[in-house]
Chain A
Amino acid sequence: MKLAVVVQRYGQDVHGGTELHARYIAEHLAQHAEVEVLTTCANDDTTWANHYKSGSETVNGVHVRRFRVSRSRRAAASARLADRVLHHTHSLADELKWIEAEGPASRSLLRHLRSHGGSYDFCLFFDYRYYHSFHGAHAVPSRAILVPRAERHETIGARVFRDVFRGARAILYNSPEERSLIQAIAGNPQVPGVVVGAGAEVPQNPQPGRFRQKHNIRGPFALYVGTIDERHGCGDLFTLFDGYSRQPSARLSLLLAGEGRLPIPTHPKIAHVGVLDDAERFDAIAAADAVVIPSRYESLSRTALEAWALGKPVLANAKSDVLKGQCLRSNGGLCYQTPAEFAAMLQALEQNRWLSASLGKTGRQYFRDHYDWRVVERKYHDVLVQLQKSEPRTAMEPIPRWSDCRRCDVAPASDVLRSTS
């Protein structure tokens, strides 16, 4: 079986959630099938500037084919079009322009898919909102398997994505909540869809003491791992933690691992250790008393999975239905809605050792049952074999013609999302 993994960026020095997801899947599927990664030369997702050389190379034993980005990201145009698409009545042309402005627009990648798409059994497109997924799925619709990584964000209400969700050969979801959301918006129950997710490479013997010694950390702490910005809920996290730390019995500190644009407040109990590599990240999780996930927009929280894999409890934002669902299904974490709940739950995790240990234990079991790599690989294998045996049941709607695109009658994406909730 020959598979193509199509993703916007790829490399060992690329740490985005989608990119890591694609890389891990490619590396694990490469053990069972012939896998080729089709990606761009971009390294920076804010500009999509060409960074790597175009052509072929091998990364961790996986063959990677890079294509040049035709046009850098136009941030101003993208923001203007996003506002129009998300919040105002607009035309399909606006949505297509928005996808192009978001990028990464690579004509050569599309040409390759059109000309050589038949040589792959299936093409796995990661992240539905990017240019390569939208146009790539239209280029090879009968082979297009979408890994949408969708969260409850207004973007998903855009009309053009509905056709992709309806016309893909199959969709591999990260969570049941993601499947419900997409099916509610696109109305695509006929499209084969399986909740698969992704595993996590967890070391057998993480060294929490090493991490504490290196960063001179004493005392218990809650850990946040990821991009430090408003979109990931870090602003709220700072406020919530400040409220918690005002309690006389509060003993936990907050440790931030990652980088971002949001300034970190000066607080005696908030510390920042910068970006951690994989080994250090696991050491940090093993050293933490709890892992905090304040983001509202998640399709699958890798941090939560890694925490559970190491037997650590999770404190998550209940406004993310995915995180809430994961916590309830796994019995491995608590979900807060208000500042009072955040403080009380953090305190409960800190002071009730049995609670913390039980949550970690059940979380670890959940991880082993559903997100161990063997389980994920088996799911991928079953889906691909089943798809190989069956004929395509759906047909992709072509991209609308010029005349159809001009009618300004498409509802705002935010309204579409609101109508499903």
Chain B
Amino acid sequence: MAEFNVRSDSINVEQIMEQIRARIREKRGVDYTDAEIQQLAAARLEKFIDPDKLRSNLLSEFHRVRAEGDTPVALDAVVDESVLFETHRPWLRALRTLLRPILKLFLNTKALAALSAHAKADLARKSRDQMTFEVIHNMVVEMTRLGIEVKNLTMRVESMQSRLEFNERRARALESVVVYKPGDANPVPPPARPQVHDTRPPEEFRPRQDSQPAAAPAQTAAGAPAPSGADGAGQRRKRRRRRGRRGGTGQPWAQNQPGQTGQFNQPAESAVPGDAMPPQDMHVDEGPDDGPDDSNGGDGTEHDPQ
């Protein structure tokens, strides 16, 4: 539990409760119950369409309305004025057909047919609107739910990320402390190296040309300067050796040099074996990431502060 920023004797309960509530909101986001989500969704849409007519067989209804209202045959049938005279009784149909010219004298049957078509189209549209409303309603509900879930997941990811970073820093800090050599009780003392002032720019800014000779004198594992060769094969070998040292494959348990910034400065005699776990309550520096810096070749040499 995080600390409160009220630390006097005259505490303010209201302020403390507000801080606790704010922390809950930060931690969990705004909590909505299902009922509240439904209310949120309904509040915006019920003004337009009655939400009481929600159906569960939405897809089949869509298919049905489409089959009834949108098919060209059905539309033609609706617009055709002959539907005004249709009946299932043959004798009445015959009579209407006989009197049709007279009826057309008194009535605008085309207008009637158009009205009928409009009415049917309106019905179909209302039905579609209802289903569209259902779809939008469901989408709003799901979007709200997903939004909350995404927020929660984002916060969880952030939390895990910070934990991961902390663990990485802790691991690096511990690695810098611990020196372990299998089968050797006394860890290898760090090789004495002359301090080299590396005036090169960082590696990422250097030109990537294989034929260019190394500007700084390369260091061997024993600390002697490597002879610089002019041929490409010699250069490649040197680069390989350097890469090996940088990647830690050549000397996996390299001891940090005393005075290296951001890491524990511990003499070799006090080093503990690598498989010995540090105490749980051990203080680990949570400062900025001070991992191996490739820009100095990873060979333990220091940067010139100037």
Which residues on A are within 8 Å of B, measured CB to CB?
A: 249, 327-328, 331-335, 338, 340-341, 344-345, 347-348, 351-352, 354-355, 358-359, 361-362
Contacts and interface: CB of A to CB of B under 8 A. Distances in A.
Given A340-B31, A345-B20, A355-B16, A362 B11 contact: yes
Given A333-B13, A362-B11, 20 more contacts: A249-B1, A331-B10, A331-B11, A335-B17, A340-B24, A340-B31, A341-B17, A344-B24, A345-B17, A348-B16, A348-B20, A351-B1, A352-B1, A352-B4, A355-B11, A358-B9, A359-B11, A361-B9, A362-B9, A362-B10
9 nearest A-B pairs in the assembled complex, by CB-CB distance = A351-B1, A358-B11, A331-B13, A340-B24, A344-B20, A344-B24, A347-B1, A331-B11, A348-B1
Given A334-B16, A340-B31, A355 B4 contact: yes
Contacts of B14: 328
B241 interface: no
A345 B21 CA distance: 9
Best-buried of B7, B12, B24, B28 by chain A (most CB within 10 Å): B24
A340 B13 contact: no
Contacts of B16: 334, 348, 355
B23 interface: yes
Contacts of B210: none
Interface of B: 1, 3-4, 7, 9-14, 16-17, 20-21, 23-24, 28, 31
Contact of B20 (A249, A341, A359, A362): A341
A327 B20 contact: no
B31 to A, nearest CB: 7
A352 B13 contact: no
25 contacts: A327-B13, A328-B13, A328-B14, A331-B12, A331-B13, A333-B13, A334-B13, A334-B16, A334-B20, A340-B28, A341-B20, A341-B21, A344-B20, A345-B17, A345-B20, A347-B1, A348-B1, A348-B4, A348-B16, A351-B1, A352-B4, A358-B9, A358-B11, A361-B9, A362-B9
Nearest to B21: A341
B32 to A, nearest CB: 12
Contacts of A362: 9-11
B13 A359 contact: yes
A344 B4 contact: no
Contacts of B31: 338, 340
A247 to B, nearest CB: 11
Contacts of A333: 13
Nearest to A351: B1
A293 B21 CA distance: 19
Contacts of B4: 348, 352, 355
A335 B16 CA distance: 10
Contacts of B13: 327-328, 331-335, 359
Nearest to B17: A334
A223 B71 CA distance: 72
Given A328-B14, A333-B13, A341 B3 contact: no
A340 B29 CA distance: 12
Nearest to A249: B1
A332 B24 CA distance: 22
A347 B20 CA distance: 10
A340 B10 CA distance: 26
B148 to A, nearest CB: 14
Contacts of A332: 13
Contacts of A361: 9
Contacts of A249: 1
Contacts of B24: 340-341, 344
A345 B24 CA distance: 10
Best-buried of B3, B9, B11, B17 by chain A (most CB within 10 Å): B17
A126 B138 CA distance: 56
Nearest to B13: A331
A345 B1 CA distance: 10
B136 to A, nearest CB: 30
Contacts of B10: 331, 362
B4 to A, nearest CB: 6
A222 to B, nearest CB: 16
B1 A354 contact: no
Contacts of B3: 352
A417 to B, nearest CB: 24
B7 A344 contact: no
A26 B21 CA distance: 43
A250 to B, nearest CB: 11
Contacts of A328: 13-14
Best-buried of B9, B28, B31 by chain A (most CB within 10 Å): B9
Nearest to A355: B4
A331 to B, nearest CB: 5
Contacts of B1: 249, 347-348, 351-352
Nearest to A334: B17
A355 B21 CA distance: 16
A77 B20 CA distance: 47
A361 B9 CA distance: 8
Contacts of A341: 17, 20-21, 24
Contacts of A355: 4, 11, 16
A239 to B, nearest CB: 15
A362 B6 CA distance: 14
A337 B168 CA distance: 40
Contacts of A327: 13
A359 B14 CA distance: 12
